[in-house]
Amino acid sequence: MRNIVFESELNREQLAAVTAPDGAVLVIAAAGTGKTRTLVYRVAYLVEKGIDSQRLLLLTFTNRAAAEMLERAQGLVGESVSGIWGGTFHHMANRILRRHGDLLGYGSDYTILDQDDSKRLMRDCARELKLADKHFPKPEVLISLSGLASSMFRKIEDVAKDRFEHTSIDIADIARVHNRYTARKRELNAMDFDDLLSNGLKLFREHSCILERYRDKFQHVLVDEYQDTNYIQAEWVDLIAGPDGNLLVVGDDFQSIYSWRGADFKNIMTFPERYPGARIYKLETNYRSVPEILSCANECIAGNPEQFQKSLHAVRDPYKKPVLVGMRDGNEQAGFVIERAERLRSEGFRMSDIVVLYRSHFQALELQLELARRRIPYVITSGVRFFEQSHIKDVCALPRLFNNPGDELAFKRLLGMWRRVGDRTSENIWNKLGRRCDLRKPATRERLGSLLPAPAQEAWRTVDAIADSFQDDDLFSDPGEIIHRFVKGFYDLYAMEMFDNYNRRMEDIQELINYTVKFENLDAFLNEIALQSNLDAETEPGLGAEGVESIRLSTIHQAKGLEWRAVFLLWLADGLFPVSRALVDGSESEERRLFYVAITRAKDELYLCVPRIRKTRDGGVDLLDPSRFVQEISPELMSSESIHAFS
């Protein structure tokens, strides 16, 4: 074990937090200020003070984060930290429940259901209640609803109502399946991932003797990324630390961006109220970004009223201002990003030093297409490529079949979305139709309708009506209209029942519909997306391979915690970022925090892209206002460019 000189190895802010006296401590660690370093040195400091590592509890959100911290702490103080209880909330709850789960009626050998096990069990519960043949959410959606209800400590009926209130789905049926699922887990001596947290909390709430045992055991509790805790996690920490315990939490209210998955911003904001004597330390010295980028970050986040006020200070030398770039539309935006990335590469940047960030997945469509056309390798961290996504393939199945009655794959994909039509049924129907299905012919449609099982008839009537209205060949020149009618008549409810991230997928589909306006007919549209998929496939083998330079594309949520030398931020227009619904439901503050997170990913160069026009499905255009977040930044903090076509 080496001798640690804390005063020389930490800056003034970090040293104050690391050597904080016992009691409640809130460390507000702004972006790039050495949060992990501070936590690691706090562990080392406590061990050097003589605290037995077995009496330390370190809670993180990923096993990787816990392993990294413990490895770094071991590098500082050696094997004396080997006994620390470190890991995720789920890991720690499981460890305690294995010892005391019998008090809640579980055997110590209970099974933890993985995602596939949970889906199968939920599906079985729906079938037992005879809900399989009616409009009803898929198991993945039901599990998500159940988990959200658990993490937010809300009734399943209330969570389900938020999602399905304006549909034909019976909320009472969702509650019945949820209750059956809960009972079946009990019968199987099993818990799913969410149960670990809720039962861990229940154990402490109902059995004070167990709670006191662990309060006595853990002399110090440390929590990472505290701004991301949900209701259960925060109360669990409060209980195990106790009102007079030694609790140190590290987080940044400016980076609280996960309310959609249950994180509660109020946990970090009310910490001083729950612990009146808490000491608050702020880490504001940023080691990541140049001062020009930090000036923009400080100014944008100042617009949020409810927060711990702080200002990032740079240690790096001045470099260059972020660039505000005006352009006409998404195509010009894509061209600008590629050309500027190529220029950066000529200046010594690697392509892997560059990231393109966006608020929503569909906002990268034009860029993906242009990268594929130019054979430029790229990696997407926020999902699969646009035209390879299942929901995009789903809504393109009907246009494909209209265009080519012999497209067996499109036929089977279309029928596969309908209830009680599996692979074998669709194969039999395809054969009975003579391995061809021309939906423009009434006789073919009548024959197909007669072969479908009763539960599929409702979906079929939507397709039949679309086909019947498209007798004029001119109507087949509008692929967007076909997709629009299919979504309105069938796929919208199907997606709501099928996908947990329904809103994101419907945004993608709307963007696809808008994209169709550039094509003269259905055939041209289908040819283009097929070619784009194949261009993607041609570049795919090299992506991520050693020696291959690839530009990275990511949603901002996926990029949190990461950094790049150069960042391009797309579609900075009101309604796109911030998204329209945030301006209605009161979540604008979280959108501004998301913008702050995006800016602070950049180390050297930052490009803020502001298109002014967006095409609509009817062939018109929407004139866009620059994002209010951009407008809140003083013009003198940025340099401005307009690419030639927009000038």
Instruction: Establish how many alpha carbons lie within 13 A of residue 397's alpha carbon, considering only the half-sphere containing its beta carbon.
Output: 22
Beta bridge partners of 533: none
Active site residue 217: no
Active site residue 310: no
- Two structure tokens written together for 16: 């104050």
- Catalytic choice (14, 35, 173, 612): 35
The letter for the amino acid at 490 is F
With CA atoms as reference, report the closest residue to 249 among 32, 34, 35. Answer: 35
Q: What are the DSSP calls for 464-520, one per residue?
A: HHHHHHT-SGGGGG-HHHHHHHHIIIIIHHHHHHH-TTHHHHHHHHHHHHHHGGG-S
- Catalytic choice (255, 333, 425, 555): 255
With CA atoms as reference, report the closest residue to 418 among 363, 356, 491. Answer: 491
Query: What value, to the nearest 5°, has the Cα angle with vertex 447 and ends 442 and 453?
Result: 130
> 289 with 322: CB under 8 angstroms?
no
- Catalytic choice (9, 22, 36, 393): 36
Torsion on CA atoms 125, 130, 133, 137, rounded to nearest 10: -40
Measure the CA–CA gap between 248 and 25, rounded to whole angstroms.
5
Q: In what order do the strands lie in the sheet with 378-380?
A: 378-380, 551-555, 354-358, 564-569, 602-611, 323-327, 639-642
Report how far apart, in Å, the C-alpha atoms of 384 and of each of 142, 321, 362, 378, 557 are: 24, 33, 11, 11, 16
Beta bridge partners of 555: 358
Asked, as a colleague might, if the bond just before 377 is cis with ω within 30 of 0, I would say: no
Alpha helix (H) residue ranges in 131-170: 139-152, 156-164
Active site residue 224: yes
Query: What value, to the nearest 5°, has the Cα angle with vertex 370 and ends 369 and 372?
Result: 65
> 414 with 393: CB under 8 angstroms?
no
> 31 with 255: CB under 8 angstroms?
yes
CB atoms within 10 A of CB 518: 12
Give 371's contacts (C-beta < 8 A, 6+ positions apart).
334, 338, 378, 551
Report how far apart, in Å, the C-alpha atoms of 504 and of each of 357, 501, 509, 610 are: 16, 6, 9, 22
Q: What are the DSSP calls for 356-407, one per residue?
A: EEESSGGGGHHHHHHHHHTT--EEESSSS-GGGSHHHHHHHHHHHHHH-TT-
- Three-state secondary-structure class, residue 244: coil
- Catalytic choice (13, 192, 195, 225): 225
- Catalytic choice (413, 601, 614, 628): 601
Give 6's contacts (C-beta < 8 A, 6+ positions apart).
15, 18, 19, 41, 45
Report how far apart, in Å, the C-alpha atoms of 313 and of each of 290, 458, 563 are: 9, 61, 17
Question: Strand pairing of 621-623 and 613-615?
Answer: antiparallel
Measure the CA–CA gap between 356 and 550, rounded to whole angstroms.
12
- Catalytic choice (192, 194, 224, 481): 224
Active site residue 140: no
User: Which residues are catalytic, by number?
Assistant: 35-36, 224-225, 255, 601
